[in-house]
Structure 1
Amino acid sequence: MALEMRGACERCESVVAADGVAWICSYECTFCEDCTAALRRVCPNCAGELVRRPTRVAR
């Protein structure tokens, strides 16, 4: 199963590029760096830890 690379922060809707920095929980909820810091690295949807998402080179 492939990791879903969502293109926007779920909190502020800012764009997060596939080759940019984003944070995800185990359910792949996606957040930008600023929102992740404001959330103290805890997903507001599931209370899971937010970890840095791997980057993907654009084709």
Structure 2
Amino acid sequence: MALEMRGVCERCDAPLDQNGLAYICSYESSFCGACTRWLSHVCPDCGGELARRPTRV
């Protein structure tokens, strides 16, 4: 099962490059680095941890 690699931050709509810095929760909500820091690495949707999203090759 592959992760859904969303193309924009769910908080500020900033573009998220597939191989760039982005953060994701276990439910695949995606956020940019600035929003993740503002959210203290906690997903506002599920309350789970926001971890660095893996890159694709």
Mark yes or no: TM-score above 0.5. Answer: yes
TM-score (structure 2 length as normaliser): 0.97
Identity of aligned residues (%): 63
- Which residue is equivalent to 2:10? 10
- Structure with higher Rg: it is 1
Structure 2 counterpart SS, 1:56: coil
Match of 1:20 in 2: 20
Q: Quick one: distance in 2 between partners of 1:22 and 1:56?
A: 12
1:1-59 maps to which residues of 2 (within 5 A)? Answer: 1-57=1-57
Superposition RMSD in Å: 0.6
Mark the runs of 5 or more structure 2 residues left unpaired by the alignment.
none
Q: TM-score, normalised by structure 1?
A: 0.93
Aligned residues: 57
| SS of equivalent residue, structure 2 residue 36 | helix
Q: Structure 1, residues 18-50: CA drift from partner, whole Å, max 9, x if none? A: 010100000000000000000000000000000
Moved over 3 A (4+): none
User: How far has the Cα of 1:56 moved from its partner?
Assistant: 1.4
